[in-house]
Chain A
Amino acid sequence: MAIVDEVREIIAQTLRVPVEQLTPDTRLDDIGAESLDVIEIVFELEEKFGISIPFNPEEGSSRRAAEEPNAAGDLAFQTIGEVASAVKTLVDAKQAS
């Protein structure tokens, strides 16, 4: 199964929405994902793929983002496609190491 489909499955299960409704362009907030839901989705993805996703909603400050450009706050996490692409990057990095 392609990563994006596994991501769709996990998000569908977490938010209890039919998986058919979810496309790479679906925005998480459009399907009712609140802050705690996003944190649960990140956790489920980490468990599923054996990765660590540097997502921290508290690390959005301009100062820290400038100091640590790869730090959590920059992670694009608005759409399912963006989530899948972040997961793919981390899975690839894990396999390469």
Chain B
Amino acid sequence: MNRVVVTGIGVVSPVGCRVDEFWSALVEARSGIGPISIIPTERLIARVAAQVLDFDPDAHFEPRQSNVMDRVAQFAVVAARSAVRDAQLAIGEELALDIATVIGTGVGGQNTQDSSYFRLYAQNAPKLHPFTIPRLMVNGAVSHVSMDLGLKGPTYSVATACASGTHAIGQAFHMLRSGQTPVAIAGGAEACITVGTLKGWEALRVLSADTCRPFSKTRSGLVLGEGAAVVVLETRERALARGARIYAELLGFGMSADAGDITAADPDGAARAMQAALRDARTNAEDVDYVNAHGTATTLNDRMETVALRKTFGASAERLAISSSKGVLGHSLGAAGALELAASAIALQTQIIPPTANYEEADPECDLDFVPNTARDAPLRTAMSNSFAFGGLNAALVLGRG
């Protein structure tokens, strides 16, 4: 079995589209959540989101190319290009035939869907733009990454709602480990700040009206975000041979399903995913020092995740440092797991634990060390990154120092 390492990271995030900007915001607990400005808000109750404001499609694409792409595909391609550049990966003709590309997306081209149906139903337009379908299809993002970079190996999208990015990276990791591919481009993307999507979330009554405070007693619900993160994964052997910089080693991937409620997650299911990831990594729970939690700041998730962490880590849960990145990044659904895996890899590389932003008050029902507001230097051997999706689909990745 091959060992697998992360050699490149690319992000499109509410706190910047460069890895250093992204990381410094996480470390400084500088939130990317703010008033919604990219869509009309007069019909919305919750008017905050973590938007990618620093993104000009014309700076990245010829109009002819961007015209076929939804915002979600634009995010994925820009993050993938950055990751490849960051890895200093030369993609020759032969390697291109072997590289796997796996991108997770919760829904797909939501901006296209929203604006097309608005034209159709509200404006009575007799016809839609001919690129409506290619823009909105759920594999649009991964297909554009493949086309843009000329990647011709196994390529597909993963759709597991809020766990899509984690499932995508886990799948790519296993392909590398088994020798199916020497290099993979994997991650997640979402562009879900549309009136229709926000009204849908609003109806579920889980959105916060002000900000996202994971694990804090004063938490008031989740805040949607958008963005993308893509990592370059390589066999360790290949990375060492070409002298690549290594952020972290991927050690294990675990998945599970609750087979229970469509929205309320189950601590047993979440714990089984974490346990499966530890088994896959051949790592003991005691050896994990940091968990990047799913931590959405809903009443249910944060309480459930605390129970699941205790169940998985037992007595060592007490000494575990846990943080959620969603106070800074919001919840970018299919992109979230990938952005958080990127954060976990950089945490291992820099030996810094990014804090939980916006944390105000301890909650007796969430009584672990959630690293409130201030980053911590700590010797980190092993980290875990969790994602628990609507539909009861859970995924966890375990990483070690590179």
Chain A residues engaging chain B, CB cutoff 8 angstroms: 34-36, 39, 42-43, 55-64
Contact = CB atoms under 8 A, between A and B. Distances in A.
Contacts of A61: 217-220
A34 B261 contact: yes
B285 interface: no
Given A35-B263, A63-B361, A57 B218 contact: no
Nearest to B213: A61
B205 interface: yes
B262 interface: yes
Contacts of A60: 299
A2 B203 CA distance: 27
A32 to B, nearest CB: 12
Given A35-B264, A36-B263, A56 B205 contact: yes
A61 B264 CA distance: 19
B206 interface: yes
A48 B207 CA distance: 24
B356 interface: no
Contacts of A62: 217-218
Interface residues of B, number: 20
B220 A64 contact: yes
Contacts, number: 45
B241 interface: no
A60 B206 CA distance: 12
Contacts of B263: 35-36
B206 A58 contact: yes
**Most A CB within 10 A of own CB, among B217, B220, B263, B298:** B220
Contacts of B217: 61-63
22 contacts: A34-B261, A34-B264, A35-B264, A36-B261, A36-B262, A36-B263, A36-B264, A39-B204, A56-B205, A56-B221, A57-B205, A57-B206, A57-B299, A58-B206, A58-B208, A58-B220, A59-B220, A61-B217, A61-B219, A62-B218, A63-B218, A63-B361
Interface string B153-183: 0000000000000000000000000000000
B125 interface: no
A60 B218 CA distance: 8
A39 B206 CA distance: 10
Interface string B379-399: 000000000000000000000
Given A39-B203, A56-B205, 13 more contacts: A34-B264, A35-B264, A57-B205, A57-B206, A57-B299, A58-B219, A58-B298, A59-B220, A59-B221, A61-B218, A62-B217, A63-B218, A63-B361
B300 interface: yes
Interface string B352-365: 00000000110000
A61 B210 CA distance: 13
A35 to B, nearest CB: 6
Nearest to B206: A58
Contacts of B300: 35
Interface in B267-311: 298-300
Interface string B190-217: 0000000000000111111000000001
A56 B218 CA distance: 14
Contacts of A63: 217-218, 360-361
A56 B360 CA distance: 20
Nearest to B220: A58
